[in-house]
Structure 1
């Protein structure tokens, strides 16, 4: 049975936040597993001797943070937290996006080489088929800055991304360590700032090769985002494909009128 802890009602820390941390700790310590149902609002209220609105606030916050989900008429359940990706909202590097969201980024380079553009790559980059391009393939990880917030397996990759860029525009790209520097950061350092990006988002089932990299099963659901980044003069500087495991990522798409 889930054992309540006494909340400090004299503390300046709000009671709902104290309850949140107790529930997060219980999930982290695997008292509650993915799919488990939590005690009801009434039960938690009685267990911790606090009001139902206080319990409701704590649960609402944990739902918004991705730790819990609700099914009307059935209850509140534990889920796997997902990394919120804002790749669909901003032109920024992966490192910047993760740090902004309180996460520590980590990158491992899987492949970095020169090859000849095939029909698809040449069309995306608006170059001749057979022209040399630089291919950069990386796998990305993320970890929480606050240890107490870590309740999922942070050793597993968040995404795998492959980018192609015309070698003639920036042949020195091969000299950079992309486990340290981000692609956009390197471009900007060399006065090649991406001014516009067109992205296509598609739901797919993953192939065997990338499933092994992402440590998921072949044919698992993934989100694939293909991007073309343009310089100020309209020249495409990058064509990339990023694969996000559905179980580890969620996206924000902002639309205004």
Structure 2
């Protein structure tokens, strides 16, 4: 019998090969075995991020296993954040979530340190008049020109965040080529500025239509948000950022201490 587990990348995978180790007469429940096999395939890259699994009915029929058993196995991995169910798409392998400590680092550096491959699509780079919020954050007159940058950041090829940053005009030399290959804080540091402190606010909101398209978020989905103003060691405001992240792939980690 020819059996397939569908993937969105790399073509179909033979389910008969993937599930050869199923022990139908042993003491370990079948749902647990199926979940373990899929989890191992995700971990070793056999099922890379974006891969689609067969629907529960089809997979159950191919393996000669009841649909409730297959459903329970899939639900185990959904609960672990390894699979996601999407209407109209099916069940997909998700990118391993990025858990980011709330520290004074850039997303680019955090992804590099986490052995993920960060890449950037530059959405816009222009000198624009500062709006009221940007002017207040950067301590510049409202309407004065600032460098405004919007980027789409990927981790291992999967869209993760839309990054919007405004900087004072002395950083206007930061160009498109710079932004494609390095993190913003690295570029600022290369221009002789050491960022030493930042004020940050974390929240959530409904995603806009553009954000849903860029981040591959389903209709009516939400984004995590971060607003940050960073300062140099001499107290000057260097950067004002307004970022949004895919909530299924990103989280913030904070350590709390009782003083």
The residue correspondences of 1:1-257 to structure 2 (distance < 5 A) are 3=19, 5=21, 23-25=39-41, 28=47, 30=52, 36-38=71-73, 66-67=81-82, 80-86=94-100, 88-143=101-156, 154=157, 156-167=158-169, 169-174=170-175, 176-257=177-258
Contact 1:93–1:183 (CA under 8 A) maintained in structure 2: yes
Return the alpha-carbon distance in structure 2 between the equivalents of residues 219 and 104 of structure 1.
Answer: 29
Can you give the 5+ residue segments of structure 2 that lack an aligned partner in the other structure? 1-15, 24-34, 57-69, 85-91
Higher relative contact order at CA 8 Å, sep ≥6: structure 1 or structure 2?
A: 1
Unmatched 5+ residue regions in structure 1? Answer: 8-18, 41-58, 70-77, 144-153
Is the 8 Å Cα contact of residues 178 and 187 (structure 2) preserved in structure 1? no
Is the contact between residue 125 and residue 176 of structure 2 (CA under 8 Å) also seen in structure 1? no
| Post-superposition offset of 1:89 | 1.8
Secondary structure of 1:172's aligned partner? coil
**Partner residue, 1:44:** none
**Number of residue pairs aligned between Structure 1 and Structure 2:** 206
Q: How well do the aligned residues superpose, as a CA RMSD in angstroms?
A: 3.5
Distance 1:229 1:104, change over 3 A: same
More off after superposition, 128-137 vs 216-225? 216-225
Superposition TM-score, scaled by structure 1 size: 0.68
Instruction: Work out whether residues 19 and 37 of structure 2, in 8 Å CA contact, stay in contact via their aligned partners in 1.
Output: no
Offset at residue 250 of structure 1 (A): 2.2
Is this contact kept in 2: 1:207–1:218, CA < 8 A? no
Distance 1:186 1:199, change over 3 A: same
- SS of the equivalent of 1:90 reads coil
